Structure 1
Amino acid sequence: MKAIVAQKQFRLIQSMVLCASIFVLPACVSKPPEELAQQTDEALSNNTRAARERSVREVPADVRAQLRQGIDLQQSSVRQLLEEPRFSIQARDMAASDFFAQLTAETPYSVVVHPDVRGAITVNLRDVTLQEALNVVQDIFGYDIRKEGRIYRVFPAGLRTETLSLNYLSLRRQGISQTQITSGGVAAQGTNNQGGINNSRQNNNYSGSDLLGNQGIQNGQSGANIGTTGQSGSSISTTNETDFWKELESILQGIIGEGNGRQVVVSPQAGLATVRAFPAEIRAARDFLSSAEASLQRQVVLEARIVEVELNEQYQQGVDWSRITSDIGSGVTEFSFSGSSVDAGSLGGVMGITFNNQTFSGMVELLSTQGQVQVLSSPRVTATNNQKAVIKIGEDEYFVTDVSTTTVTGTATTSTPNIQLTPFFSGIALDVTPQIGENGDITLHIHPSVTETTEQEKIVSLNDQTYSLPLARSNIRESDTIIRARDGEVVIIGGLMQTEYVDDSSSVPLLGDIPFLGELFTNRRQRETKKELVIMLRPTVVGVDTWDTELERSRELLRRWYNVE
C-alpha cells in the first residue's frame, strides 16, 4: 500500500515539473533580441568601467618604485641611524692607534690605522654613535678617516689628493629682461657730406639716402640728417648670467688656500674637480660642492594663468581688489612696506598679491563677478634654482623698419630702393627666474608681457617728396617685478589696463537691410571698453613627495575624465 502511494506521489511531481517547463520555455524563447543586446552592452560597459577604474587606482609597480625611491632611501637611513648602538667615550692623552683600536673593539666594524698616524687624543663624549665619534675626532685632530663597507681607514693629516664630482651642466647661459619707456624728439642737421663716392673721369656721383635716418650728398651739396633722439624716459634691465664652472676653480682655491703643494684642477666636461690639500680642507671643499649641488638642483614647477577681464560699467577704474581680498578672507598675504602693513586692496596701478589657494579656479570665479573673463594662456614650466625660464606663445610678423635709396647719376640715372624688414612679435611672453631658499620660500623675478602688433600707414616727407610707409604699431602691456612667495601660494599681478573702442550697430529688422534707406533705420555708436590683464602664478617646489602629489592630481583628473567614483 505504501509503495502505491509513493508511486502516485512521484507521478504527481513529474507532472508538476513538466507543466512548469512548458510555461518557462516559451518565456525564454519569446525574449526579444533587443533586450539581449542591451544586456550585452551593459555587461561590456561594466567590464570597461571596471578596467578603467583598475587602471586609475593601480599604479604600475616600476613607476611607483621610481617615484618612492627617495622616500625609501630616506627611511632606510633613518632606520639605520636608530638601530646603531650608542655609548660614552672618555680618553685622555691616549695614543691615536690605541684609541681607534679600542673604539671599534665591541662593534661589528674593523679599523686599519696608517703607520704614520701620530698624536694623542683627549675626548669626552656621551651617548654618541661610532660614526658621530669618528666625525668629531676627524674634525678636531685632522685625521683623514674613510669608510668602505664595515672597514674604517685612518690616514695621517698630510696632503692628500681626492677627486670630487658635481652634477651640473657645462654651459654659459645668459638671460636679459628689459622694460623701457622713452620719449623721443626729432633732430635735424645741415651741411652733412657723407657716404659719397666720386669718379671725376665720368663725373658720377653716388649718394646714399635713408628715408628714416641719414642722408648724404656728395660734391658740396647740403644734406639733411633726420633722426630721433631720446630725451627722457625710464628703463629696467635685468641680466641673469650663469657660468658656474668658470668660477668653481677660484672658489675651491679660496677654500683650500694656496701654497705648500695645494692645487685644484676642474674638468667641466667630466663634472669633476680634483683637489690636493689637507684632509680638513678637502672636507670643506666636499661640503661646499655638496651644498652647491643641492642648491643648483632645486627645482620649482611654475604654473601660470594669464586672463583678461573686460570690466563691467561699475568697475571701469579697474578690478576692485579690496572686494576680492575681503571675499578670500585670511588667505591673502598683506604687504609690508617701511615697517607698516599695507592692505593689498589699497594698492593702485601694477600690483601683486599672494593668497593661499591650490587652484586658479577660485580666483577666476571671483574675477568673473567684476567682468567677463577670458583665459588667454595657461602655460606650465619647470625651472631650476636661479635659472630663467621663458614661455613665449605667439607669432612673428615682418614689418618695414628702414627704407633707403641708392642713386647713381652718369650717362643714366638709376635709383635702387633698399627695404629692411624686422620681425615683430605678437602674443604672450613670460619669463620667470626663481630663487629657492632652504626653507622652501621662493623669490621670483617676473616679467610678463602681452603684445599686439598691427600695421599702420605713416606719411613721411623728404626732399619735397611724400612717402607712404607700412610700419608696425605695437600695443604692449608688460610688467617687471620681484615678489616673494611661499611654496604653493598663488601670486597675482594686476593693474595692466587697456582701453578699446568698439563700433556697435543696431537696426530695425528688414528695414535696416534696405540699401541706402536702411541707414535711416540703423543706429551706430562707438562704445568704450576697458580691459585689465591679470597674471596668476603658482610656484611649487619639487621635493621628495612632490611627484607623489602630482601623481595623485593626475589620478584625480583621470577619475573625472572617466567619471569614476
Structure 2
Amino acid sequence: MLVLKKIIYLLLFVHIAVSSAYANRCDTQLFTATLNSELTISDVVENLADECGLSLLVKDSEAKKKLSEKLYFVKMNNASLNEFLDTVLLENDLSYVLGDSKLKISYLTTQTFKLHYIAGDRKGTSNAHVTIANSGASGGQGQQSGGGAQGAGQEGSDSGNGSKTGVSIESTDEFKFWSKIEQEIHALINRPEDAYTAPTPVVNAEAGMITVTGTSKQLQRVSYYIDTLHKQLKNQVLIDVKILSVTFDDSYTTGVDWNQLYSLQNMSLATASTLQNNISAFSAITDGELSIGDTTSTPNAEPKRSGAVITRGSTKINDVVKFLKTQGDVKSISNPKILTLNNQPALISVGNELFYKIQSTSLLQGGSGLGTQQTGETIDSVFAGILLDITPEISEDGTITLKINPSISDTIDTVSTTTTGSRTIPPDLSRKQISSVVTLNDGEHVVLGGLISSKSGTKISKVPLLGDLPLLEHLFKREVNVDTVDELVLIITPHIIKKDKVLSLEDLGYKKLNDEY
C-alpha cells in the first residue's frame, strides 16, 4: 500500500490502494484516492511524481497559474494512472503528455487536424440566359461558370449609356466549405465560459489541415466537431433518375390523372407540394423568389397537379411505368445515374445548346476627346432541353431529404437560320420549372409530374409503296394535322452508399439487358 502525504497541509489524507504485484511501476497500478478541499492541483501532481519517479515539466505560465487552483473534492476508485491524470488535469482544462518517465503539463496546446475534402469552393449554377442586344461606351461580355474548385461566375457590366436586354433565369447552389469551417471552428473554440480567447485557426485547404491553438477543453470540442463533420461529408448518395415522356393524342387533356395511382396494388402514397413556374416573358428570377412553401408530406392524400408523389411499400418502378402507359404513349428520354456526396448538388443536363450571333457596338475614346464607333459580333447560346438539379441530405435516422429543381425548355417555333447557316437572333423558348423538397427513405421513389407542353404536327398515313408514287401519292396517302400534349415525368430513387460498401452493377441499377418497362 502506498500513501501520498502532503507536507504543508496536515489535514490532507490520501489513500492509494495498489492492486498490482509491481509496486514500483505506477503504470501497472490502480489507485483509490480521496482528495479534500485543502489540496491544489500542484500538490497532487507533485506527490504523484515523487511516488512514481516521474520528472515534472510545466511548459507555460498559464499552466503554472492553473496548477495553483484548489481541487475542492475528488474521489477515485481503482483508477489507472492515465485515468488519475485525466481526472486531475484534463477536467481542469490542463493538457499533459506522459512518456519516458516524464510528465509534461501545459495550459495551451497546438494541434493539427486532418480533414480530407477538395480545395476551393464549389458552385453549381443552373443558368438560362438570353441576350438580345448589347451596346455601350465600353461594353463587357457576360460570363457564367458553374461547378468545380474555385468555380465562380461573373457577368460583365456595361458602363456609360450602354444597355443589355434579355432574360436571365438562374438557380445557384454554392458550397464554400473551407471559408465556412474556419469561421465555425473559431466560434466553437471561443465560447463565453472560456477563460482563454483562442486565435483564428490556421486552415490549409490544399493540404487538408486545420491547426488550432487552445486549451484542452477547446481542442476536445474541435476534435468532436471535425470527427462528426468528417462522417457526414463522407456519406454518399446514389441518385437514379428516370426521365420519361408521356404523349397524349387528345389536345384537351390536362395530363396524367395521378388519382388513378390508388388503383395500383401494394402501393402506399404520400404527396409533397411543389412550385411550378411557366416563363413566358422576359424577366429575372432568383432562388429567393422560388419559395417552396409547405413541403411536408401527407400520407394517403390525393396527389396534386405539378406535385411530387412518393411511393412506398413494395412498389417498383415498372408498376409506375405500366400505370403511365395506361395514360398515354410512354418514351424513355434519359436514365442517368449519379453518385454525389452528402449535401452536394448533382447536376444533370439533357438537351441541345443553340448558338447565335450578337451584334455589339462600342464607342472608343481617342486622345483628342473624339470617339470612334466600333461594331463587332459575339457568339452566345441558349439551352433547350431538360436541366435537373438535385441536392441530397442524409439525416441521422437514415432518411434522405432531396431538394429537386427540374426545368424543361423547348423552342416554340422552328429555329430559323440565315443562308450561311448561322442564327442572328435567339430562338423563342418556352420554359417550365418545378421546385420541390421531399423526405423519403432509402430506396423509395419520388415521382414528379406536371411539366406539360403542347405541340402541333402532321400525322401521315399511307398505303405501302403506292403512297410513294409520284402524281398518284395523294390518292393513297392522307395527312392530318395533329395536336399532341407531352408531360414530362421524373422518377427519382436515392440510395445511401455506406463508406465500406463496394458498389456492384446491381447497386448502380444495371440488371438484365433485356429488361423492359
Alignment TM class, shorter chain as reference: 0.5 to 0.7
Q: Does 1:438 align with 2:375?
A: no
Q: Tell me the CA shift for residue 154 of structure 1.
A: 6.7
- Is the Cα contact below 8 Å between 1:455 and 1:470 reproduced in 2? no
Aligned residue in 2 for 1:379 = 336
Instruction: Choose the corresponding residue for 1:262, options 198, 205, 209.
Output: 198
- Give 3-state SS (helix, strand or coil) of 2:183's partner: helix
Q: For the residues of structure 1 that align with 2:94 and 2:196, how far apart are their CA atoms? A: 18
Q: Tell me the CA shift for residue 383 of structure 1.
A: 1.3
Aligned residue in 1 for 2:321 = 364
Instruction: Choose the corresponding residue for 1:282, options 212, 219, 226.
Output: 219
Q: For the residues of structure 2 that align with 1:389 and 1:133, how far apart are their CA atoms? A: 51
Read off the aligned partner of 1:479 and give its amino acid letter.
I
- Give 3-state SS (helix, strand or coil) of 2:224's partner: helix
Read off the aligned partner of 2:123 and give its amino acid letter.
Q
Scaled by the length of structure 2, the TM-score of the pair is 0.63
Aligned residue in 2 for 1:294 = 231
- Give 3-state SS (helix, strand or coil) of 2:506's partner: helix
Q: For the residues of structure 2 that align with 1:164 and 1:511, how far apart are their CA atoms? A: 80
Q: Tell me the CA shift for residue 353 of structure 1.
A: 1.7
Scaled by the length of structure 1, the TM-score of the pair is 0.58
Instruction: Choose the corresponding residue for 1:323, options 249, 260, 270.
Output: 260
Q: Does 1:542 align with 2:497?
A: yes
- Give 3-state SS (helix, strand or coil) of 2:310's partner: strand
Q: For the residues of structure 1 that align with 2:385 and 2:315, how far apart are their CA atoms? A: 27
- Give 3-state SS (helix, strand or coil) of 1:553's partner: coil
Instruction: Choose the corresponding residue for 2:110, options 161, 166, 184.
Output: 161
TM-aligned CA distance change 1:524 to 1:314, over 3 Å: closer
- Give 3-state SS (helix, strand or coil) of 1:293's partner: helix
Q: For the residues of structure 1 that align with 2:300 and 2:243, how far apart are their CA atoms? A: 24
Q: For the residues of structure 2 that align with 1:514 and 1:247, how far apart are their CA atoms? A: 72
Pairing 1:35-184 to 2, within 5 Å after superposition: 91-93=34-36, 114=56, 120=71, 122=73, 140-144=91-95, 156=105, 158-177=107-126
Read off the aligned partner of 1:265 and give its amino acid letter.
V
Read off the aligned partner of 2:110 and give its amino acid letter.
T
Read off the aligned partner of 2:311 and give its amino acid letter.
F
Higher helix share: 1
Instruction: Choose the corresponding residue for 1:392, options 349, 354, 362.
Output: 349
Q: Does 1:353 align with 2:309?
A: yes
- Is the Cα contact below 8 Å between 1:179 and 1:480 reproduced in 2? no
Q: Does 1:272 align with 2:209?
A: yes
- Is the Cα contact below 8 Å between 1:335 and 1:344 reproduced in 2? no
Greater Cα shift, 364-373 or 246-255: 246-255
**How many residues are treated as equivalent by the alignment?**
407
Aligned residue in 1 for 2:438 = 483
TM-aligned CA distance change 1:478 to 1:249, over 3 Å: closer
Q: For the residues of structure 2 that align with 1:361 and 1:112, how far apart are their CA atoms? A: 73
- Give 3-state SS (helix, strand or coil) of 2:184's partner: helix
Q: Tell me the CA shift for residue 381 of structure 1.
A: 1.2
Aligned residue in 1 for 2:280 = none
- Give 3-state SS (helix, strand or coil) of 2:118's partner: coil
Pairing 1:487-498 to 2, within 5 Å after superposition: 487-498=442-453
Q: For the residues of structure 2 that align with 1:279 and 1:290, how far apart are their CA atoms? A: 16
Q: Does 1:456 align with 2:415?
A: yes
Greater Cα shift, 376-385 or 136-145: 136-145
Aligned residue in 2 for 1:428 = 386
- Is the Cα contact below 8 Å between 2:121 and 2:174 reproduced in 1? yes
Aligned residue in 2 for 1:5 = none
Aligned residue in 2 for 1:45 = none
Higher-Rg member (1/2):
1
Q: Tell me the CA shift for residue 497 of structure 1.
A: 0.9
Aligned residue in 1 for 2:285 = none
Cα deviation digits, residues 291-321 of structure 1 (max 9, x gap): 2222223221111111111136599321121
Q: For the residues of structure 2 that align with 1:556 and 1:517, how far apart are their CA atoms? A: 52
TM-aligned CA distance change 1:227 to 1:267, over 3 Å: closer
TM-aligned CA distance change 1:314 to 1:398, over 3 Å: closer
Aligned residue in 2 for 1:3 = none
Q: For the residues of structure 2 that align with 1:382 and 1:129, how far apart are their CA atoms? A: 47
Q: Does 1:533 align with 2:488?
A: yes
Runs (5+) with no aligned partner, structure 2: 1-29, 59-66, 138-161, 274-293, 364-372
TM-aligned CA distance change 1:439 to 1:146, over 3 Å: farther
Aligned residue in 1 for 2:6 = none
- Give 3-state SS (helix, strand or coil) of 2:247's partner: strand
Instruction: Choose the corresponding residue for 1:251, options 184, 198, 214.
Output: 184
Q: Tell me the CA shift for residue 145 of structure 1.
A: 5.7
Aligned residue in 2 for 1:333 = 270
- Is the Cα contact below 8 Å between 2:392 and 2:400 reproduced in 1? yes
Identity %: 25
Q: For the residues of structure 1 that align with 2:441 and 2:473, how far apart are their CA atoms? A: 61
- Give 3-state SS (helix, strand or coil) of 2:226's partner: helix
- Give 3-state SS (helix, strand or coil) of 1:472's partner: coil
- Is the Cα contact below 8 Å between 1:390 and 1:430 reproduced in 2? yes
Read off the aligned partner of 1:262 and give its amino acid letter.
A
Read off the aligned partner of 1:352 and give its amino acid letter.
A
TM-aligned CA distance change 1:493 to 1:420, over 3 Å: same
Q: For the residues of structure 2 that align with 1:152 and 1:314, how far apart are their CA atoms? A: 88
TM-aligned CA distance change 1:129 to 1:441, over 3 Å: farther
- After superposition, the CA RMSD in angstroms is 5.0
- Give 3-state SS (helix, strand or coil) of 2:391's partner: strand
Q: For the residues of structure 2 that align with 1:178 and 1:111, how far apart are their CA atoms? A: 71
Cα deviation digits, residues 369-413 of structure 1 (max 9, x gap): 22221111111111112222222234433223447799xxxxxxx
Read off the aligned partner of 2:338 and give its amino acid letter.
V
Q: Tell me the CA shift for residue 509 of structure 1.
A: 6.6
TM-aligned CA distance change 1:471 to 1:141, over 3 Å: closer
Q: Tell me the CA shift for residue 520 of structure 1.
A: 4.9
Aligned residue in 1 for 2:366 = none
- Give 3-state SS (helix, strand or coil) of 2:116's partner: coil
TM-aligned CA distance change 1:89 to 1:474, over 3 Å: farther
